[in-house]
Amino acid sequence: MSITISALAHLTPEQTQEITQLAFAAAAVDEMAPLSEHVLIHLNHGGDEAAEHLIANDAAGKILGYLHLDQTDIVAGPVVEVVVHPDFRNQGIGRGLIEFAISKSNDSRMRLWAHGELASAYSLAATLGFAKTRELWQMRRSLFAPLPKSIENPNLTIRPFQVGKDESAWLALNSKVFTDHPEQGRMSLADLKVRMSESWFDPAGFLIAATASGTATETMIGYHWTKIHGGPGGHGHSEMGEIYVLGIAPDQRGTGLAKLLSIKGLEYLRGKGLPAAMLYVDANNQAAISLYESLGFAHWDTDVMFRKSPA
C-alpha cells in the first residue's frame, strides 16, 4: 500500500471531520479513546494553533492515520498522540507517523502518550526507542452503590460556578493547586472558555467552595468540576459521570475539604441519573488515590506515557 505522510499547520473542516471519525472507529474497537481530551476538544474547535498535524493518506487521499504533535512545553519537551484506523493497523503507519515526528522535532525529549495498556502500544514504543516514564490511572465506581455521608462545614459555602464572575479567581487558584502538574497547571482563560463552550459543560456541576460567601471578601478555596464523559464523543463507553478536576488550595489540604467536595459532586452526578463515575489520577499520587479509594473508586485502566530513550 502506498502511504504519504504530510505535516500541516492547520486542518480543513473536512480533514478534521475525517480524523474525528477515525478516532471514533478506533475507540469502538479498543473501548478507549485513542486521543486525549485536549486533542479532541481542539479538533472540535478547528485545531490547536500551537500544534502540528501529521496525517497518513493512501493513494486515494483517505486519511488512515493521524498524529498530534505539540511542541509548546519547552521544559518537558514535545509530546505526541497517534491513532491509526483499525482496518489499517500493522502496516507500519503508526511507526511512520512517529518517525516523521521525531525527525521533524529533532528533540530527544519527545514523549508519547498511549491510552489504555495495549500490547501494540508497548511494542511500538519499544521498537522506536521509547521507555515508560509515567502512568495515569483511570478509576471508576458505581453510582448505584451508597455514597459516604458528607460532613458539613458551617464556615464554607459550596455553590455552582458563576459564568462571567468566577473565571479569574478560578484560574488563579487552579494555577496554585497544580503548580507542578504538566497539563492542568498551565490552563489559560482561552483554554477555560473552550471547555465552557463544550456541550457537556454545566455550571451547576462545577462546584466552588468559598469562605464568606456573598461578601466582597469571599475567598475561593477549592472546587470540584464534574462532567458527563463518554457517549457519542468517541470515548468507547456509554455516558458516565467524571470527577473532571478536583482542586484544593494548598493551605486547605488535610482539612477534609477534598472529600466533602468529592461527595457533593458525586451526589450531583447521581442526581443526573448516571450509572457510574470515573476519574484520572497519576499513579504515583498516593494521597489522591487513597482519597478516591475511600470514596469507593477502584483502578480500571491505565494510560501510559513513554519518553524517547537516549540513543
Query: Tell me, what's the pLDDT at 214?
Result: 55
| Residue 79 confidence (pLDDT) above 80 | yes
Residue 97 pLDDT greater than 90, yes or no: yes
Closest CA to 186 of 50, 20, 2, 7: 50
Name the residue ranges covered by the structural domains of the chain.
Answer: 4-128, 139-301
pLDDT (0 to 100) of residue 36: 87
Residue 294: what pLDDT? Answer: 96
Q: Give the pLDDT confidence score for residue 185 in this predicted structure.
A: 64
- Of 112, 137, 106, 109, give the one whose Cα is nearest residue 126: 112
Q: DSSP secondary structure string, 21-64? A: HHHHHHHHHHSS-SS-HHHHHHHHTT--TTEEEEEEE-TT--EE
Fold type of domain 139-301: Aminopeptidase (3.40.630)
pLDDT at 54: 95
- Using CA atoms, how far apart are residues 142 and 151, in angstroms rounded to an integer? 21
pLDDT value of residue 235: 52
Quick one: what percent of the chain has pLDDT higher than 70?
92
Q: Which CATH superfamily is domain 4-128 in?
A: Gcn5-related N-acetyltransferase (GNAT) (3.40.630.30)
Instruction: Please compute the mean of the pLDDT values over residues 9-26 and round it to a whole number.
Output: 91
Cα-based distances in Å from 106 to 99, 102, 110: 10, 6, 9
**pLDDT for the residue numbered 311:** 56
What confidence tier does 152 reach under pLDDT thresholds 50, 70, 90?
confident
* DSSP structure string for 182-240: TTGGG--HHHHHHHHTSTT--GGGEEEEEESTTSTT-EEEEEEEEEEE-GGGSSSS--E
pLDDT given at position 46: 61
Q: What percentage of the chain carries pLDDT values higher than 90?
A: 62
Beta bridge partners of 248: 222
Q: Is the pLDDT of residue 309 over 80?
A: no
Q: Output the pLDDT for position 213.
A: 57
pLDDT bucket at 32, cuts 50 / 70 / 90 = confident
Fold matches, 4-128 and 139-301? yes
The pLDDT of residue 47 is: 59
The pLDDT of residue 28 is 87
Q: Among candidates 238, 251, 246, which has minimal Cα distance to 264?
A: 246
Output the pLDDT for position 107: 80
Which amino acid makes up residue 277?
Answer: A
Mean pLDDT score across all residues of the chain = 89
What distance in Å separates the CA atoms of residue 90 and residue 29, rounded to the nearest whole number? 15
Q: What is the mean pLDDT of residues 172-199?
A: 85
pLDDT at residue 137 greater than cutoff 60: yes
3-state secondary structure of 91: coil
pTM of the entire predicted model: 0.83
